[in-house]
Amino acid sequence: MKPAPVLFACCLSALTACAPRLIAQERYVGDIAACPGSHLPPSGTLVVQGRHFTLTPGDGATVLAGDVQRDGAFAATYTPRNARPGDASRVDAEPRRGSATPFTLTVTGRIEDEAARGSFVSPACSSPFEFRRIPASLMP
């Protein structure tokens, strides 16, 4: 058997295995108004699969996760471990040594037809967002 058809068959089967999860996924992208002094890019991605959602503010490493209610409402809270109050404007704050009062990040909103609207709250400010729905894709 020639290597090219075997490799093609393996790639095709891998893509086929991923397809059901992507089909069941709803993705929303858009801008989150940046807080003054924020180090985050003003973007975000909300992914909904079934009744579960994840939000990545700034499209970075921080992920807020929670459940979507039947009416489309969603909410989640995230408290970075070892975060210091001075890090409040940085969602991507790295853990620091020493004791400090952690800050909390919160997202609330509602999914409606082709958009997700809500508010992302950090100690620095409250930022409204409106994300538009995009089709799920195997390619970024």
For each successive 10 residues of the chain (140 residues), what is the average pLDDT?
Answer: 56 49 80 76 89 89 92 92 54 46 84 94 87 77
Q: Is there a domain that residue 128 lies in?
A: yes
Cβ pair 68, 51 in contact under 8 A: yes
Q: Is there a domain that residue 14 lies in?
A: no
Check which CATH number belongs to the domain holding 37 and give it.
Answer: 2.40.128
Cβ pair 10, 1 in contact under 8 A: no
Q: Is there a domain that residue 8 lies in?
A: no
Mark residue 19 as left, alpha or beta (left: phi above 0; alpha: psi -120 to 50; beta: remaining). alpha
The answer to whether the pTM exceeds 0.85 is no
Q: How far apart are alpha carbons 85 and 100 in whole angstroms?
A: 7
Distance linking the first and last C-alpha atoms of the chain: 33
Q: Is there a domain that residue 75 lies in?
A: yes
> How many domains is the chain partitioned into structurally?
1
